[in-house]
Amino acid sequence: MAYCYFNGGMVDEKEVSLSIHNFGVHRGFGVFDFFRMRDGKYSFIQDHLDRFEKSQRFMDLSHIIEQDEIREAVDTLRDWNGYTDAGFKLMLLADGKDSDAELSPLFFILQSDLSNHESAPYASVILHEYVREYPQIKTISYFTSNMLHRKKAKAGAIDVIYHKDNLISEASRSNVFIVQGGVFKTPAENILEGITRKQVLEVASQVGSIEVTNVTIDDFFTADEIFICSTLKEICPIVEVDGNSVGSGKVGPLSRKISQLFQQKLMD
């Protein structure tokens, strides 16, 4: 049995029902966030709660779900489900009718057991021309990413890198970093500012120079190293892009160093 938090109370996941008339489902109008717990300790939870609140305010529903309520529900889920390594997914859908002047939030939290989760030591990616709508918030709209699922699987790729007008923005579920001449570069525009990205920017300052700037497709293909980062992937070095080797085709020393520093940060 696994419990979830649904619209104000703790419920067995199997007992939850969602109306087939839900506005958020019909219109794809919703936001979410996702964070991890490692050895019973939440990772960067305040950053995730702040970003989730930003997403809520952007939706402009009748009211927001306060952070105190979310923290209390997360603590209760931790205790009831008993996982020590887990993921928490905060979901918010708009509830109401097309004719309503104001929509209400339908809020729930899912917890998943990550005790057997292992991040990939390295991977490959493919490119796709696209910029997400409202990339500054974490919406539930992953239509393009899902549409590319078979293409990604055929290429053996872990993620899809989006680009537009010759500029790299982000991966479908990750942020992007390249290394050129010892300098870390990450796109500045049309991105979701990831929580893991924020931590990488902090630890990278201990290793070399950082530029939050435009990253062109040419920069991407001529980079010495590339890595992507996210809550689940953590730091994932990229050794191949569209079938072309990145640098030496092996995990680079600076990517490896960033991964080590990030792991140390998780232990703090």
pLDDT digits (tens, 9 = 90+) for 86-101: 999 999 999 999 888 8
pLDDT digits (tens, 9 = 90+) for 127-183: 999 999 999 999 999 999 999 999 999 999 999 999 999 999 999 999 999 999 999
Q: Is residue 96 part of a domain?
A: yes
Domain tally for the chain? 2
User: Which residues fall within 8 angstroms of residue 206, CB to CB, at 6 or more apart?
Assistant: 261
User: Which residues fall within 8 angstroms of residue 41, CB to CB, at 6 or more apart?
Assistant: none
Instruction: Give the Cα-Cα-Cα angle 42, 48, 51 (nearest 5 degrees).
Output: 170
Residue 268 reports pLDDT greater than 80: no
Q: What is the pLDDT of residue 160?
A: 97
Statement to judge: residues 98 and 144 lie in one domain? no
Q: Which two tokens stand for residue 125?
A: 């990616």
Q: Is residue 23 part of a domain?
A: yes
At 64, which CATH number?
Answer: 3.30.470.10
Q: Is residue 234 part of a domain?
A: yes
pLDDT digits (tens, 9 = 90+) for 172-211: 999 999 999 999 999 999 999 999 999 999 999 999 999 9
Statement to judge: residues 51 and 139 lie in one domain? no
CA distances from 27 to 7, 99, 166, 254 (A): 20, 13, 31, 43
Instruction: Give the Cα-Cα-Cα angle 221, 225, 226 (nearest 5 degrees).
Output: 75
Statement to judge: residues 108 and 130 lie in one domain? no
Q: What is the pLDDT of residue 44?
A: 97
- Band of pLDDT at residue 267, cut at 50, 70 and 90: confident
Q: What is the pLDDT of residue 192?
A: 96
Q: What is the pLDDT of residue 5?
A: 98
Statement to judge: residues 143 and 94 lie in one domain? no
Calpha distance 6→68 (Å, rounded): 16
Calpha distance 173→228 (Å, rounded): 9
**Is pLDDT larger for residue 267 or for residue 24?**
24
Statement to judge: residues 201 and 83 lie in one domain? no
Q: Is residue 118 part of a domain?
A: no
Statement to judge: residues 151 and 248 lie in one domain? yes
Statement to judge: residues 15 and 105 lie in one domain? yes
- Residue 62 structural domain: 3-113
Scanning the structure block, which residue is given the tokens 């500054």? 136
Statement to judge: residues 187 and 256 lie in one domain? yes
Calpha distance 111→83 (Å, rounded): 9
Calpha distance 171→1 (Å, rounded): 34
Mean pLDDT over the full length of the chain? 96
DSSP secondary structure code for residue 246 in this structure: P
Statement to judge: residues 262 and 131 lie in one domain? yes
Statement to judge: residues 129 and 247 lie in one domain? yes
Q: What is the pLDDT of residue 186?
A: 98
Helix (H) or strand (E) run with residue 48 in it = helix 45-59
Give me the helix-helix angle, 195-204 and 253-267, nearest 10°.
110
Residue at which a domain ends, from 81, 113, 145? 113
As a whole number, mean pLDDT of residues 24-48 equals 96
Q: What is the pLDDT of residue 28?
A: 94
pLDDT digits (tens, 9 = 90+) for 254-265: 999 999 999 999
Residue at which a domain ends, from 113, 136, 168? 113
Statement to judge: residues 141 and 246 lie in one domain? yes
Residue 1 reports pLDDT greater than 80: no
Residue at which a domain ends, from 113, 146, 172? 113
pLDDT digits (tens, 9 = 90+) for 222-242: 999 999 999 999 999 999 999
At 261, which CATH number?
Answer: 3.20.10.10
Statement to judge: residues 34 and 82 lie in one domain? yes
